[in-house]
Structure 1
Amino acid sequence: MKRIRVRRTLRTTALAAGALAIALGGLPASPVQAAEPAPRIDLRVLVVFDGGPATAAIAAELDGAGTPYTVVDLEDAGRPVIDAAFLADEIDGRPRAKYQAVVLPNDNPFPAGSPEMAALAAYERTYAIPQVDAYTYARPQAGLEYPVNGGYAGPVDGITAQVTAAGEDGPFGYLEGAFTFEDNDPAVDESWGFLSRPRAGADFTTYVDAPLPSGTGRGSLVGEYRHDGRRELVVTFVANQYQQQFRLLARGIVDWMTQEVRLGTSRNWFSVHVDDVFASDDRWDTELDCTPGDVDCRPGEGTPDPIRMTPGDAAHAVEWSRSRDFTLDLAYNGGGSVEYREEHGGADPLADRLTEEPEAFRWINHTYDHPYLGCEQDVSVVPWKCAVNADGTVRYVGRDEISRQIADNRRWAEDAGLPLDSGELVTGEHSGLKLLPQQPEDNPHLAPALADNAVGWLASDNSRDPVQRQVGPALTVSRHPMNVFYNAGREAEQVDEYNWIYTSRAQGGSGICEDSATTTCLDAPLDPATGYPDHIVPLEARIAMGHVLANDPRPHFIHQSNLAEDRIAYPVLDRILDRYAELYADDTPLVNPRMSDVGEELRERAAWDGAMQAGRITAYRIGDTVTVTAPPGTAVRATMPAGTTRVLQDGAAAFGEPYAGTVSGSAPSRPGQDGVTLSLPSAPAAGAPSSGPARATAPAPDGPLPAGAERPVPPGAERRPAGAER
């Protein structure tokens, strides 16, 4: 079993009257006059942007977590000037630092002798504000030797980086240790960097390093440089927000620069919905290059050959879920079992096996018969179109039929003893919702039918309908489709259809990839024998891991056919779970929420982001007290050091839930309070050795929270790119 590390942090511990008490092991005290009150530090980050991917990546990380920041774009002629007045002022007689951290494109992006850099340096010294150099050249000014002095400059694709002992005890303790930089295309340099040793005499601590290609020692990739009363996090490789090496380190970079005191929250999420359980899925025909029985084949073309799980497949799903400690969400169609019993003398061994152990899974209503619930489909043509009335208006499936499909399936589950959240619904093919190009609007009968059945959460396809929106009483929960096809039960079928979609017409494919601006054609068709394990599995796992590491709670979905026959879903899921376990320490577990919890998370994020963008949230720290105000009904989302408590009128309560060495969560304002006040754990006096708080240890995934703890919030899908004020 992996160990859970005790993490020692270097953070500003107290802002006492008369001086800034800085737990930095010997840095000089602040020049703030003794008579002055302790300064106020606003919880906002300053991002100085130069158009490059490194600063944009950090801004995206802040966006995803819901952490406020301000951008100064160096390429904007009308940008504000960074001077003392821009950085600090006074409020109610108290000095105020407007930014808790500074992100620069490199260690000094300004011209030589720039007064802006001088203002930043003075600001950082005065208020103990950390600086991140998002991507800088290894040089003495950053505490490192030039690469020519025994280091390396060049591509870093495929290198194996290592979190050092200092990194484990510090900002990157949530990582298991070693990780490999992406190298997705050997013909392309995907990442560039400098590996260099700390300069002799420099106060430099390496947090992440890698072996020098010369084979003589190791060079720093991420480290902390202390000098001139300031702290810099020096990053010497460039990455964009989508590369796994950045995603792995992003949390630690933000924790370091905010000293674990910030607005916003972040988790690594992964849920998998399995659609069409108890029904069957039509099979891809490798000769016809379509799916007989479904709408991509012309009527009467081919012979349908359905794929349906067996009792053995069900038993394997139960065993797999338990062995992996991972709960699948089964989206079921009760009518599929009823139909099977009618055709097989009353027996349905699959349904019997799955309902023997219903608690092994979570269950979601997927409608009784899985009909298309949007417009009535005219399948006499390929692609299909919406049927129309005599007056030319679109003919839609009616409210009564939609309502019957929801209610009948719910009753079937109750009779079968399935544990069900009746407010969750996945319609067949996400039907009823708009679908371009055939149906540009929602079925007008969908919202009333959802109201008839008290549906609060409605699944949508993230590739078509990614933003949460209101449909009658329900909010949508978008799901990521995995490219493991619904009409494939065997690897050979998956590869054949994959080749059809992703190869050019000259190579025997459909040419869809040639006609699409967003799809890339394969260089050559995949080998039917090896294409699935060697190409599709690693690619799909990498795509899903990108969502997991981007603080994206949206579920992924596959189909019951993928758990049948060759059981082609498991290699992808196993690769994701295995890779995650290799990368992360035990105190940073994969979060596996059900659909309604995802919906609540997305709704809460939207309210938080909206209030922030409207300027209705303020947050600051004075000493060891953090004060946050937000509009009524908006839960405050924050990440804090372990041991942080919430100050209440009648006492105190633990705040948040342990995750990745900190505690994080959301807390609504309580009656009589216009915001949330948090008390940070006590810290050693200035100049004393700083061991920091004990590393927060996460409870078991489904375990209870400590008494009085606030609702845990694991946030953030990617929002907008770096822009002005947020």
Structure 2
Amino acid sequence: MKRTIRTTALAVGALIAALGLPAGPVHADAPAPRIDLRVLVVSDGGPATDAIAAELETAGTPVTEVDLRDAGRPVIDAGFLADTVDGRPRARFQAVVLPNDNPFPAGSAEMTALADYERAYAIPQVDAYTYARPEVGLQAAVGAGYAGSVDGVRAEVTEAGLSGPFGYLDGTVPFEDNSPTVGESYAYLSTPAPGADFVPYVQAAIPGRPTKGSLVGEYRHDGRRELVVTFVYNQHQQQFRLLARGIVEWMTGGVHLGAGRNYFAVHVDDVFAADDRWDTELNCTPGDVDCPPGEGTPNPIRMVPADVDHALAWQQNRDFTLDLAYNGSGSVDHREDNGGADPLADRFVAERNRFRWINHTYTHAFLGCRQDVTVVPWKCATDPDGSTQWVSRNEIADEIATNRVWGESAGLPLVNQELVTGEHSGLKVAPQQPEDNPNLGPALTDTGITWLASDNSRDPVQRRVGSATTVPRYPMNVFYNAGRAAEQVDEYNWIYTSRAQGGSGICEDNPATSTCLTAPLDPETGYAEHIVPLETRIALGHVLSNDPRPHFIHQSNLAEDRTAYPVLDGVLEGYAALFADSAPVVNLRMADIGVEMQRRAAWRNAVDAGQVTAYRVGDSVTVRAPEGVAVTATMPEGTLRGGTAFGDAYAGALSGWTPTSGGTLALTLPSTPTAPGDKVTLPADTGTDAPTAPPTRVPPGVTEPVPYGARR
């Protein structure tokens, strides 16, 4: 029989001695243990532990990873796990993540050390993916439950999960089923074993039975707590993305470095300008560089005032703000061609304060090398000596400054430090221009630009260019040169079908970046039935990944058939169906996104350099970081910094970026009945004789990139 008792100084001292940890004389006032805010991830190279490690890494949570495949890895023993600092017992890790409940041989000294450590310091353990069986508090899946695919299953969060670590969810957890021919999920579904202290948090119906089986649940035994996960996943799959926050909150007790939000921002480029239209016969875009000079007749796409009204109504209905990247000359030219009238610009300017605005240069000129468009694809023009001809510093600065003046004269609420160049030009673009225009950085400095948009598909890492720092943007595969859904499908078929099927064969030539369609899409249904679901899934995946990068589309996508809205609606409606009101989509403007990314980079560098120390003693948390590096942390509601509330509320917790005072941040947690190290369970036998976890199945869809389908 096991007994749970409140520890005394003797109990703590006895456990420390049993672990072989350094300890001083035992006194009645023995200090509470120090728990370092760092997670130990023991990996076997499988996708589940990699996914949890990636989640922690992205959030900014310090991690120590031990790879069981590495012959030179450290041995996990008492000295590796704990020691004494300034006379106080120290647990080096606040949580342990294992590939399964016991990845070591039966009777392993390493598993014994881990189990003893978890008991002594009340350290939780996550079993990243394990077989359902009595050793983890469940009945065996074979016979009493189910072992097999869960593709397309809609799991549910239990009442215990909603009142516990998964309270930020609305209640359902849909499992992806992106390919009818590829297995993407596998699970062991079973009910708690008789007499086991097991609480399911996420469960799904067991096929052929009236009962539901656990997918994620908590197992308490032998003075330890395990989060038992019985389905496999990778870091990109939606089911993991939905549950990742709760897994981290469970293992850390809601007290950890790092933080996460679900971000979504949409930039609409070329506002006031017109976008050239795809020619379904020529399979190119007359007026743009993919058509030979003089071929075809340009037929531009430009919004009308009714499209502005639709955008305003949509924003209000979705409680969402679009960022409009504008080109002032588009309106000037339109007025010159239409007797001074531009109803579109007039409508936008009248409602200017209901949007966010970004300088997109005056004429949308290409600001890199001077383009030679006499050939397809274009190339950089060169001087007789072979040197590249570049757009000049003055020309770039003039494009920026003139558009700024136009916007200010129209009363647009600008942040003058933001800039999107036409086609992200000026920055390197492969293969024609493998380096930045050397005149770009000086021109940005001349005009006071500090945030410069880049294309995430070709320039994903934030970097400095002159006075500016780049903000990578995700391109949505909703084409700029198609105002109608049928045009979208026609161009999509041209790009993503083989030559034998009438396509360009681009997907055949570039298999690493493109996937060919099995057959051309139907012109009538292809957009709604294939492109929209795929683009929605990709964008929603970014939203769920704690990734603040904005997405970008074009004004043409808000015109004519208004092709962007089905995708945007899919993202926001899909999100609303999954998350509780406590976890809203965070809609930041470009400068704020740049700051967020910049802070993350500084924090990550400090953590990787070993310059961050953080620990908890009872209800006190101390963080030390380099002066000037803001701290990112997540804490329970009621946490105080000095006498004031800490952080901002999100998903049932408090989090945010906090400057240190003299390099130290001190927080006081709300009083709790227990804290790490406060309680210990003394079982009849503290040995660890559990068998090694049996092998589990990992289908190919977990190890291959998802989602499946045409991509670029």
**TM (normalized to structure 1)?**
0.89
Aligned to 1:571: 566
| Cα distance between partner residues in 2 of 1:413 and 1:17 | 70
Whether 1:387 and 2:381 are equivalent positions in the alignment is yes
Aligned to 2:697: none
Whether 1:677 and 2:666 are equivalent positions in the alignment is yes
Whether 1:540 and 2:535 are equivalent positions in the alignment is yes
Aligned to 2:193: 199
- Map Cα deviations across residues 493-538 of structure 1 (whole Å, 9 max, x no partner): 0000000000000000010100112211000000000000000000
Matched-pair contact (CA < 8 Å) for 1:355–1:416? yes
- Map Cα deviations across residues 438-457 of structure 1 (whole Å, 9 max, x no partner): 11111111111111110010
Aligned to 2:611: 616
Aligned to 2:705: none
Whether 1:550 and 2:550 are equivalent positions in the alignment is no
| Cα distance between partner residues in 2 of 1:178 and 1:98 | 36
Amino acid at match of 1:136: T
| Cα distance between partner residues in 1 of 2:522 and 2:225 | 53
Mean Cα deviation higher: 553-562 or 659-668 = 659-668
Aligned to 1:699: none
SS in 2 for 1:116: helix
Measured after TM superposition, the shift of residue 359 of structure 1 is: 1.4
Matched-pair contact (CA < 8 Å) for 1:83–1:120? yes
- Map Cα deviations across residues 388-421 of structure 1 (whole Å, 9 max, x no partner): 1122111111111111111111111111111000
| Cα distance between partner residues in 1 of 2:534 and 2:117 | 46
**TM (normalized to structure 2)?**
0.91
Whether 1:482 and 2:461 are equivalent positions in the alignment is no
- Map Cα deviations across residues 82-112 of structure 1 (whole Å, 9 max, x no partner): 1100100011111000000000000110000
Whether 1:413 and 2:404 are equivalent positions in the alignment is no
Amino acid at match of 1:579: G
Matched-pair contact (CA < 8 Å) for 2:149–2:183? yes
- 5+ unaligned residues in a row in structure 2: which ranges? 1-5, 13-22, 680-712
Matched-pair contact (CA < 8 Å) for 2:478–2:488? yes
Match of 1:645 among 636, 640, 647: 640
Aligned to 1:263: 257
Matches within 5 A, 1:95-174: 95-174=89-168
Whether 1:43 and 2:37 are equivalent positions in the alignment is yes
With over 3 angstroms needed to count, the CA separation of the structure-2 counterparts of 1:17 and 1:385, relative to structure 1, is farther
| Cα distance between partner residues in 2 of 1:288 and 1:417 | 42
Amino acid at match of 1:596: A
Measured after TM superposition, the shift of residue 669 of structure 1 is: 1.7
| Cα distance between partner residues in 2 of 1:180 and 1:164 | 14
Amino acid at match of 2:218: E
Measured after TM superposition, the shift of residue 674 of structure 1 is: 2.6
- Map Cα deviations across residues 365-403 of structure 1 (whole Å, 9 max, x no partner): 000110000000000000000011122111111111111
Whether 1:175 and 2:169 are equivalent positions in the alignment is yes
Aligned to 1:27: none
| Cα distance between partner residues in 2 of 1:585 and 1:366 | 36
- Map Cα deviations across residues 108-137 of structure 1 (whole Å, 9 max, x no partner): 100000011000000000000000000000
Matched-pair contact (CA < 8 Å) for 1:17–1:38? no
- Map Cα deviations across residues 257-289 of structure 1 (whole Å, 9 max, x no partner): 011110001000000000000000000000000
Matched-pair contact (CA < 8 Å) for 2:168–2:583? yes
With over 3 angstroms needed to count, the CA separation of the structure-2 counterparts of 1:16 and 1:49, relative to structure 1, is same
- Map Cα deviations across residues 672-705 of structure 1 (whole Å, 9 max, x no partner): x331011101112589xx9xxxxxxxxxxxxxxx
Measured after TM superposition, the shift of residue 466 of structure 1 is: 0.4
Aligned to 2:698: none
Match of 2:242 among 248, 259, 264: 248
- Map Cα deviations across residues 514-572 of structure 1 (whole Å, 9 max, x no partner): 01122110000000000000000000000001111110000000000000000000000
Whether 1:658 and 2:649 are equivalent positions in the alignment is yes
| Cα distance between partner residues in 1 of 2:79 and 2:477 | 53
- Map Cα deviations across residues 310-355 of structure 1 (whole Å, 9 max, x no partner): 0111111111111111100000001100000000000000000111
With over 3 angstroms needed to count, the CA separation of the structure-2 counterparts of 1:150 and 1:410, relative to structure 1, is same
Report percent identity of matched pairs.
70
| Cα distance between partner residues in 2 of 1:414 and 1:61 | 42
Amino acid at match of 1:160: R
SS in 1 for 2:142: coil
| Cα distance between partner residues in 2 of 1:470 and 1:261 | 34
Q: What number of residue pairs does the alignment pair up?
A: 660
| Cα distance between partner residues in 2 of 1:387 and 1:252 | 54
Matches within 5 A, 1:296-311: 296-311=290-305
| Cα distance between partner residues in 2 of 1:372 and 1:78 | 53
Whether 1:209 and 2:203 are equivalent positions in the alignment is yes
Measured after TM superposition, the shift of residue 149 of structure 1 is: 3.5
Aligned to 2:695: none
Amino acid at match of 1:58: I
RMSD: 1.6
| Cα distance between partner residues in 1 of 2:483 and 2:247 | 43
- 5+ unaligned residues in a row in structure 1: which ranges? 1-13, 21-30, 691-726
Mean Cα deviation higher: 514-523 or 599-608 = 514-523
Amino acid at match of 2:599: E
| Cα distance between partner residues in 2 of 1:281 and 1:608 | 41
Structure 1 residue runs of 4 or more that deviate by more than 6 Å after TM superposition: 14-20
Aligned to 1:25: none
| Cα distance between partner residues in 2 of 1:457 and 1:35 | 55
SS in 2 for 1:302: coil
Measured after TM superposition, the shift of residue 34 of structure 1 is: 4.3
